[in-house]
Amino acid sequence: MTGRAYLVGSGPGGLGLMTIRAREVIDSADVVLYDQLPGEEILATLPKNAERIDCGKYGGSHTLEQDAIEELMVRKVKEGKTVVRLKGGDPFLFGRGGEEIETLREHGIAVEVVPGVTSAIAVPEMVGIPVTHRRYASQVTFITGHEDPTKPESALDWEVLARLKGTLVILMGVKNLPAITAALVEHGKDPATPVAIIERGLRPDQRVTVGTVADIPEKARAAGVRPPAVIVIGGVVELYEEDGLSE
Binding site for ligand SAH (CB under 6 A): 12-13, 37, 87-90, 93-95, 118-120, 123, 171-172, 198, 200-202, 227-230
Q: How far is the CB of 56 from ligand SAH (least distance, A)?
A: 13
Please give the C-alpha separations between residue 61 and each of 35, 56, 58, 75, 119, in angstroms, as whole numbers.
Answer: 11, 8, 6, 24, 20
Give the separation between CA 111 and CA 109, rounded to whole angstroms: 6
Q: Examine the residue annotation and report whether 151 is marked as an active-site residue of this protein.
A: no
Of 30, 57, 81, 87, catalytic: 57
Q: How far is the CB of 170 from ligand SAH (least distance, A)?
A: 7
Q: Which is nearer to ligand SAH, 178 or 227 (CB)?
A: 227
Q: Examine the residue annotation and report whether 35 is marked as an active-site residue of this protein.
A: yes
Give the separation between CA 143 and CA 120, rounded to whole angstroms: 10
Q: Examine the residue annotation and report whether 189 is marked as an active-site residue of this protein.
A: no
Give the separation between CA 203 and CA 227, rounded to whole angstroms: 13
Q: Which is nearer to ligand SAH, 81 or 183 (CB)?
A: 183
Q: How far is the CB of 22 from ligand SAH (least distance, A)?
A: 13
Q: Which is nearer to ligand SAH, 8 or 137 (CB)?
A: 8
Collect all residues with Cβ–Cβ distance below 8 Å to 115 and sequence separation of at least 6. Answer: 9, 19, 90, 91, 92
Active site residues per annotation: 35, 57, 172
